[in-house]
Structure 1
Amino acid sequence: MIKKYLNTPFNTKYNTAPFSKIKNTDYIPTFKEAINLAKKDIDDIVNNSEKPSFQNTIEALDFSGEQLDRVSSIFFNLNSAETNEEIQKIAQEVSPMLSEFSNDVALNTELFERVKSVYNSKDELNLTTEQNTLLDKKYKSFSRNGANLPEEKKSDLREIDKKLSQLKLKFGENVLAETNKFEMLITNEEDLSGLPEGTKEAAKQLATSKEKTGWLFTLDYPSYIPFLTYADNRELRKKITLAAGSKAFKNDDLDNQNNVLQIVKLRHKRANLLGYKTHAHFVLEERMAETPETVLEFSNELLKKAKPAAENEFKNLENFAKELDGIDRLEKWDGSYYSEKLKQKLFSLDDEKLKPYFKLENVIAGAFTIANKLFDLKFEEIDTIDKYHEDVLTYKVTNSKGDFISVFYADFFPRAGKRNGAWMTSYKPQYIKNGENSRPHVSIVCNFTKPTKTKPSLLTFNEVTTLFHEFGHALHGMLANTIYPSLSGTNVHWDFVELPSQIMENWCYEKEALELFATHYETNEVIPMDLVEKIKESATFHEGMQTLRQLSFGLLDMSWHGNETIESIKNVKAFETEVFKNTSLYPETKETCMSTAFSHIFQGGYSSGYYSYKWAEVLDADAFEYFKQEGIFNKKVANKFKDYVLSQGGTENPMTLYKRFRGQKPQPEALLRRAGLLK
C-alpha cells in the first residue's frame, strides 16, 4: 500500500527514506495525495479567522507541504542518480503538476494579502534576525513570482512555468541519453599506447560486462578524461573529443538546440512579465552580486588579469607540442594530452604517480578526519538504513558529545542511470519544530574510477579535490542549525553556496592534511614530501587557461540570460561562437557546441549563476588565508567558520555572515595571489 511508505512519517531508523519499499508505480498517486495535503495546509492558513501574524501565516507557510517536499526530494534525487525510462516518464508527468501547484501558491491572492499584512506591520513585531529574513523571503517569493500581476498575466506565467519545467527535464534526458549512447570499442592493442594500466583494465572490464571483446571507452568521466589525457593515438582522441563536444547537437531526436532557444526565450519572457529587463536581472536581485553589471564587471576584471597569462601558457604549450611531436596546430583534443606531458616535464608529476596514494576509502577517511579536527564530527558507517543502490555507502554522523547530527549517503561510481559530474543534495532538511531539532539527511554523488579485479578505486588528484568539494557542501547541510527549513543548510544566496565546498579543496594541498590520508594502497607508505611539494608547485600550472575557461562558461551563461535581444537569436552555435570569441584559445570545431549539453544552466539551478564559482573562489581564497595565518586546524578559526557560516544557512545576508567570520570584506587579491596571477 503506497500511503504506508510515502505519505506518512517513515517508520524507519532516523526517519530515512525506505528506498527498497518504493515502487515506481507509487509515485504518481503519492504526488497527487501529497499535493492535496499541501493544498490543505495552504487552505488552513488562508481560512484562519485570526488576524494574520508571523506564526499563523509566515511560519505556517514555511512548514507547509512537508510531505510533498519529502517525496519530491526522493523522486528527483533518484531521477539524477538512479534513473530509468519509467522514472523519466513519471518526471515529465509530475513536473507540470508541481509547477502548477507552486503557481497556485505564488498566485494565491488571499494568501498574499495575509503575507503582505504581516510584512507591512513588521516594524511592530519585534522579530529575530532569522524571522525577519524569513518574512522578507516569503514576501519576495510572492512579489517576485507574479502575485502583483493582473489575472490574465498570471495565467501567462503559469503557462511559461509549466513549459519550462518540461523543457528542462527534456534537456537533461537528452544529455544523459547521448552520454550513454556513445561507445568506442578498441580491438587493436596498439591503439591503447600511452594509457595507464588501470585505465586499460577498467576499459577491458567494461567491454566484458557488455559481452564485447576488446577495450570499451565511454563519455563517463573516469573513462573519457584518462583517454584524452594519456592516449597517444591523436585520431582516437579527436573522435572521443568530438563525441563529448557534440552531445545533443546532431539535429536528431536527442538534439537540444531548440530546447536551449525555447528555455532562454521563455525565461526572458517570464522576467519581462514580472517587470525585469532580463532573466539575469530577475535572478541576481537575490544574489550577493545583485546586478548583471556587477557580474560582468567582476568577470571582465578577472579576464583582464587572466587572459595575458592564458595566452602565454597556450603559446608555450603549442611550442612544446611542436617540439615534441611536430604538431603545427594545437586542437581541442590535444590540450589535456600535451598539458599532462608538459606538467610531467616541469614537475616530474603525473596522476599515475599520485593515484596509488589516493585509494578512495583512504580519501573518504581523510575527509572525515579533517571534519573531526575542524568541526568535531564523527562518521560511523552503518548498514541499518535503506539505500537506493548497492554502491551507496551510509553513515551516521555525531558530534563530540555523541549527539546525532545527520545521516550521510555517499554514491561514488558511474552507472547508466546516473548523470555525469558530481553534486551534493539532501533527502531531508534540518529545522527546529515544537522544540525538537530535526536533523538532515545529506548525500553526495560522484562519478569516480571503479575498482577493478586487481586494483581498488584509485583517484586522480582532480577526483580527490572533487570529493572534498562535494563533502564541503555536505558539511554545510549537516551542520545546519536554523529554525526554518527554507533557510537551512545550503539554502543560501547562490553565489555564497560554493564557499563551503571550495574552501575544503584547500586542505588537499596541505602537507599536514595529506599526511592524514595519502598513503600508498599497497605499502601504506605516507605520500613522499617531494610529491607534496610538487602538488603545491603544480597547483598554479595553467591557472591562466583554467581561469579563462571558467570565465568563458560564466560569460556564456550571462549572454544567454542577460541579453535584452534574446528573441532575435535563431542559431545556438553562431551565438555561442560569437560569445566565446574573446576567450577561446583553440581553433573552432564546427561539430561541437557547449550550450546543448550545458546542464548546469539549462537543467540545474545555475542560470545567471555560473559566475558564482569564481565569485566564491575569491571568498574561499580569502577565508583560507585566515586559516593559513592561524594554522589550518586552528580550532578558533574553525569554530568561527562553523558558527558564522556553516550553521547559519540563509538566516542573514551572506556578506554580514562572512565579515563576522573574517573581520573584513573578502579581498580579490587573495585569489590572484593563490592563482599566481598577481605579479
Structure 2
Amino acid sequence: MKINNTLKSLSMLALTATVLFYSCKNTEEEKTMDNNKSTQNALLAEWEGPFDGVPAFDKMKVEDVKPALEKAMELNLKEIEAIANNEAPPTFENTIVAMEKSGKTLDRVFTYYGIYSSNISSPEFRKVQQEMAPKLSEFQSKISQNEQLFQRIKTVYEASKEKELAPDQQRVVQLIYEEFAMNGAELNTEKKKRYAAINKELSELYTNFSNNVLADEEGYVTYLNKDQLSGLSEPLIKAYAKAAADRGKEGQYAVTNTRSSMDPFLTYSDERALREKVWKNYYSRGDNNDEHDNKEIIAKILQLRKERVGLLGYDNYAEWRLQNRMAKTPENALQLMNAVWPAAIARVEEEVADMQAIADAEGKDIIIEPWDYRYYAEKVRKKKYDLDSDEVKAYLQLDKLREAMFFVAGELFNYNFATVAKGTVPVFHPDVNVWEVTDKDSGEHIGLWYLDPFARQGKRSGAWATTYRSHTTFNGKETVLASNNSNFVKPAPGEPVLVSWDDAETFFHEFGHALHFFSSEVKYPTLNSGVRDYTEFQSQLLERWLSTDPVINNYLVHYETGKPMPKELVQKIKNAATFNQGFATTEYLASAMMDMKLHLADPDTIDVANFEKETLASLHMPKELVMRHRTPQFGHVFSGEGYATAYYGYMWADVLTSDAAEAFAEAPDGFYDKVVAAKLVNYLFAPRNAMDPAEAYRKFRGRDAKIDALMRDRGFPVPQN
C-alpha cells in the first residue's frame, strides 16, 4: 500500500485522501506493455539520469496525462488481480509485501499529475482533471472493494494478532487492514455499490471546488496607478509593477488575489478604499454567486460524506475520520479548541482597542473593520514595541533564509545541501532550483531538494511540501526526492526577495516537512504515511530555529549593507513575540472549529452561508476579523479529504511543538543541544508512522505533552488544574 505517495498525490489532485492504490510487481508481459507505451508517453517511462533517476519534467505534455493515467490504472488492476487470486495461502510476503512493491508506474504518473494540478495548472489540464476525477474514483473502488484482496489482508491481520510479526511489519499490517476496513471493505454488495458511487461523485465535486477557487484567484486582480501606492515599500512596489507587466499592464501595479500579494498590501497601504477592495476580493473567493460559487458544492459534499460514513455505521463524518488520529474523537479535538478560544478572542478585544485608539488619535472617523486590522496592527506594533515590519523585512532575504535552513539541517540532522547545476536535473519551470542532500560525515547521498518559490498563474496559493519519491529499503534502497513550494511575489530583476517574519516562519515550517521526508528510516512505504494531527508537529517545531542566535547573527543580514540584525532589533522582535496572537489564533481557530462543526451538523438542509454566519455568532467571533479560510474557499477541507475535520490538527500539533520546544530551551546547549537533537531525529522524525505518535512523543519527552507551554507561548493565561 503506497499511502506515502498515493495520499500525497491525491491531496494535490483534489481526490479523497483515503483512496488506496495497490499493485504487485509487473509481470514480464506487463513490463513489455509498459515499456512499449513508455516510448510514446514520457509520463509512463521509468525515471532515468543521475541520483537514482529523476522525473522527466522537461518532457511533460498535457496531452500525455489522460492516456498515461488510463494505462497506469490498467496495469495496476491487473496487478491487484494477481495478488487477490494468488492460490497460495495469504502471508505477509505474498500479500502485504506484494502491495508494498506496488504502483511504480502509477506513482510516476501521479508525480506529473500533481505538478500540473498544483504548480502549473492550465485550462487544458483542468479539462483533463475534470474528466479523470470520476475515472480515478472508480478505479479506487475496484481496489478498496475487492473482496478477495481484503480477505487475504484480513487473514494476515488476524494471524498477526496470534503470532506477532516484527514491530514494523505489525504496524504495516495494522495500517493496511484499518484503511480497508474504514473504507467499506466489509460492506455488503449493495452498500459497496453505493459507497463507490458516492466516492465518484465526491471526486468530481472536489475538482470543481478547487478549480472554482483557482478561477477566482486568477480572475480578480486589483490594478493600481502611481498615485495609489502610499505606504508601500519600494521592493513591494517593484514586485507589484512586475506582476502588472506580466499581465500586459505595463506602467500599472497589480495586487493579485493570493495571500502573499494581499497580506502586505493590507498591512502597509494607506488607501483604505483599496484595502477594502483587495480584502473583499480575497475573502470572497468561491462566494460571488456566479458560475464559480462553491456554496452548493459544499452542501452536497457534506451530505455525501455523512451518507457514506452512515453506510459504515457512524453517526457523522468527524467520528469516522478521527478514530485513528491522536485526538481519537471530535469531542477531544473540540475540548482543546474550546480551552484556547476564550483567551484568543479576549486578546482580540485588547488588540482592537489599541488599534481604535490610534485611529482616533489620528483624527480618523472610522470604526476598525477587517481590512483595517493588519494596517493598524502594524501601527500598534511600532508604537508599543518600536518595531517596524519593513525594518525587519530588510533582514529577511529569501536566499539567506534558505542558507539558514541548510545550516539548521546540518546542525540537527548532519545534512549538507549542495547546488545541482542547472540542466543536470530536469525541472518543470525555470524558477525551480535543485540541491543534493548528503550526510556531512560519510558523504552518503540522501536525496534531492527542489525549491519552487514564486507565485505564478496556474499555481495554487499557499505553501506546501511534497515528495516525488520516498525513502524505503524493503526492495532496495530508494532515495528521497522532495520539494518545497511557496508563493512569494517574484521581484523585479536584480532585486532581493524580502519577506515578513510570518512568511519566514512558514518557509522554515515547510522545510520541516522536507526534513521529515529526508530523515525517514522506515523499511516499508506505508510507514511514510502521516497521522494528520501529528505530522504538522515536526514542521511547526522547526519554525523555532528561525529565532535562534546562530541564525539571527549569521543569516539575518541587511539586504543592502550585509550587516547582521542589530541586537536592539532582535530584542524588539523577542519583546513582541506574543504580539497580535489574538488575531493569529482566532482566525485559525475559527476555521478549525467551523470545519468540525460543519461535519457534526445535519447536512440535509444546510445553508452554507447561514451556517457560517450563525456558527460564528454563537462563538462570539469578533467582527473585526474573519476566518483564515472562509468556508467557500476552504481548500484544506473541500478540495479533498486530507484535512476534513482535521484542520484542528495544527493546534493539536502546536501543543506538542510548544512542549517540545521547552525541552530544547531547558537543555544545556539550548536549541543546538546534541543529546536532545539526537532524540528529536530518532523518535520524532526518522520513525515516520512506524510507531504510534503518542508513544513516539513519550520516548522523546519522557511524558505526554501538556497545554501549558502553548498558552505561555501565546501570552495567554495558563489554565489552572
Q: Same fold (TM over 0.5)?
A: yes
Contact 1:449 1:459 in 2 (8 A): no
Q: Judge which range, 476-485 or 2-11, deviates more.
A: 2-11
Once residues 204 and 313 of structure 1 are traced to their aligned partners in structure 2, the CA distance between those partners, rounded to angstroms, is 33
Q: Does 1:344 align with 2:382?
A: yes
Shift of 1:78: 2.5
Per-residue CA deviation, residues 56-102 of structure 1 (Å, 9 max, x unaligned), is 11221232222212311321233111111111111112222221121
Gaps of 5+ in 1: none
Once residues 393 and 325 of structure 1 are traced to their aligned partners in structure 2, the CA distance between those partners, rounded to angstroms, is 50
Once residues 676 and 76 of structure 1 are traced to their aligned partners in structure 2, the CA distance between those partners, rounded to angstroms, is 40
Q: Does 1:151 align with 2:189?
A: yes
Q: Secondary structure at the match of 2:534?
A: coil
| Number of equivalenced pairs | 672
Shift of 1:12: 2.1
**Identity rate of aligned residues, in percent?**
35
**Residue number in structure 2 paired with 1:486:** 526
Q: Judge which range, 207-216 or 636-645, deviates more.
A: 207-216
Once residues 255 and 466 of structure 2 are traced to their aligned partners in structure 1, the CA distance between those partners, rounded to angstroms, is 29
Once residues 707 and 293 of structure 2 are traced to their aligned partners in structure 1, the CA distance between those partners, rounded to angstroms, is 40
Structure-to-structure mapping, 1:201-350, within 5 angstroms: 201-212=238-249, 213-350=251-388
Q: Does 1:356 align with 2:397?
A: no
Q: Secondary structure at the match of 2:143?
A: helix
Distance 1:222 1:299, change over 3 A: closer
Q: Does 1:442 align with 2:479?
A: no
Q: Judge which range, 400-409 or 318-327, deviates more.
A: 318-327
Contact 1:552 1:583 in 2 (8 A): no
Once residues 280 and 60 of structure 2 are traced to their aligned partners in structure 1, the CA distance between those partners, rounded to angstroms, is 40
Report the residue type matching 1:636 in the other structure. V
**Residue number in structure 2 paired with 1:627:** 664
Alpha carbon RMSD of aligned pairs, Å? 1.8
**Residue number in structure 2 paired with 1:566:** 603
Report the residue type matching 1:673 in the other structure. R
Q: Does 1:652 align with 2:652?
A: no
1:601 to 637, 643, 653: 637
2:462 to 402, 411, 421: 421
**Residue number in structure 2 paired with 1:531:** 569
Contact 1:153 1:273 in 2 (8 A): yes
Once residues 59 and 208 of structure 2 are traced to their aligned partners in structure 1, the CA distance between those partners, rounded to angstroms, is 28
Q: Does 1:140 align with 2:170?
A: no
**Residue number in structure 2 paired with 1:17:** 55
Q: Does 1:636 align with 2:675?
A: yes
Q: Does 1:458 align with 2:493?
A: no
Shift of 1:49: 1.7
Q: Judge which range, 220-229 or 376-385, deviates more.
A: 220-229
Q: Secondary structure at the match of 2:371?
A: coil
Q: Secondary structure at the match of 2:477?
A: strand
**Residue number in structure 2 paired with 1:473:** 513
Q: Does 1:577 align with 2:613?
A: yes
2:449 to 405, 408, 424: 408
Report the residue type matching 2:598 in the other structure. W
Shift of 1:475: 0.5
Once residues 239 and 378 of structure 1 are traced to their aligned partners in structure 2, the CA distance between those partners, rounded to angstroms, is 46
Q: Secondary structure at the match of 1:357?
A: coil
Q: Secondary structure at the match of 2:672?
A: coil
1:199 to 236, 245, 250: 236
Once residues 635 and 629 of structure 2 are traced to their aligned partners in structure 1, the CA distance between those partners, rounded to angstroms, is 13
Q: Judge which range, 7-16 or 337-346, deviates more.
A: 7-16
Contact 1:509 1:535 in 2 (8 A): no
Contact 1:359 1:456 in 2 (8 A): yes
Contact 2:345 2:622 in 1 (8 A): no
Once residues 325 and 598 of structure 1 are traced to their aligned partners in structure 2, the CA distance between those partners, rounded to angstroms, is 38
Contact 2:235 2:491 in 1 (8 A): no
**Residue number in structure 1 paired with 2:428:** 388
**Residue number in structure 1 paired with 2:27:** none
Gaps of 5+ in 2: 1-35
Contact 2:449 2:482 in 1 (8 A): yes
Q: Secondary structure at the match of 1:397?
A: strand
2:86 to 44, 48, 72: 48
Q: Judge which range, 12-21 or 321-330, deviates more.
A: 321-330
**Residue number in structure 1 paired with 2:38:** 3
Q: Does 1:71 align with 2:112?
A: no
Shift of 1:211: 3.0
**Residue number in structure 2 paired with 1:185:** 223
Once residues 318 and 454 of structure 2 are traced to their aligned partners in structure 1, the CA distance between those partners, rounded to angstroms, is 35
Q: Judge which range, 4-13 or 51-60, deviates more.
A: 4-13
Shift of 1:587: 5.6
Contact 1:31 1:68 in 2 (8 A): yes
Report the residue type matching 2:389 in the other structure. D
Once residues 531 and 556 of structure 2 are traced to their aligned partners in structure 1, the CA distance between those partners, rounded to angstroms, is 34
Once residues 262 and 474 of structure 2 are traced to their aligned partners in structure 1, the CA distance between those partners, rounded to angstroms, is 47
Per-residue CA deviation, residues 111-157 of structure 1 (Å, 9 max, x unaligned), is 11111111111134331221111111111122111111111111111
Shift of 1:633: 0.7
Once residues 71 and 561 of structure 1 are traced to their aligned partners in structure 2, the CA distance between those partners, rounded to angstroms, is 33
TM-score, with length taken from structure 2: 0.91
Structure-to-structure mapping, 1:487-502, within 5 angstroms: 487-488=527-528, 491-502=529-540
Q: Judge which range, 301-310 or 113-122, deviates more.
A: 301-310
TM-score, with length taken from structure 1: 0.96
Q: Secondary structure at the match of 1:442?
A: strand
Contact 1:186 1:214 in 2 (8 A): yes
Once residues 61 and 222 of structure 1 are traced to their aligned partners in structure 2, the CA distance between those partners, rounded to angstroms, is 41
Once residues 512 and 105 of structure 1 are traced to their aligned partners in structure 2, the CA distance between those partners, rounded to angstroms, is 51
**Residue number in structure 2 paired with 1:662:** 701
Once residues 325 and 452 of structure 1 are traced to their aligned partners in structure 2, the CA distance between those partners, rounded to angstroms, is 37
Contact 1:35 1:65 in 2 (8 A): no
Per-residue CA deviation, residues 310-337 of structure 1 (Å, 9 max, x unaligned), is 3222233223322234344211111000
Per-residue CA deviation, residues 139-187 of structure 1 (Å, 9 max, x unaligned), is 1122111111111111111111011111111111111110111122222
Q: Judge which range, 49-58 or 5-14, deviates more.
A: 5-14
Report the residue type matching 2:201 in the other structure. K
Shift of 1:468: 0.1
Contact 1:357 1:521 in 2 (8 A): yes
Once residues 138 and 572 of structure 1 are traced to their aligned partners in structure 2, the CA distance between those partners, rounded to angstroms, is 35
Contact 2:233 2:390 in 1 (8 A): yes
Q: Judge which range, 96-105 or 497-506, deviates more.
A: 96-105
Once residues 661 and 420 of structure 1 are traced to their aligned partners in structure 2, the CA distance between those partners, rounded to angstroms, is 35
Shift of 1:643: 0.9
Distance 1:8 1:200, change over 3 A: closer
Report the residue type matching 2:561 in the other structure. T
Q: Secondary structure at the match of 2:451?
A: strand
Once residues 39 and 18 of structure 1 are traced to their aligned partners in structure 2, the CA distance between those partners, rounded to angstroms, is 25
Q: Secondary structure at the match of 2:530?
A: coil
Q: Secondary structure at the match of 1:437?
A: coil
**Residue number in structure 2 paired with 1:541:** 579
Shift of 1:623: 0.6
Once residues 399 and 541 of structure 2 are traced to their aligned partners in structure 1, the CA distance between those partners, rounded to angstroms, is 22
Once residues 342 and 304 of structure 1 are traced to their aligned partners in structure 2, the CA distance between those partners, rounded to angstroms, is 22
Once residues 134 and 466 of structure 2 are traced to their aligned partners in structure 1, the CA distance between those partners, rounded to angstroms, is 22
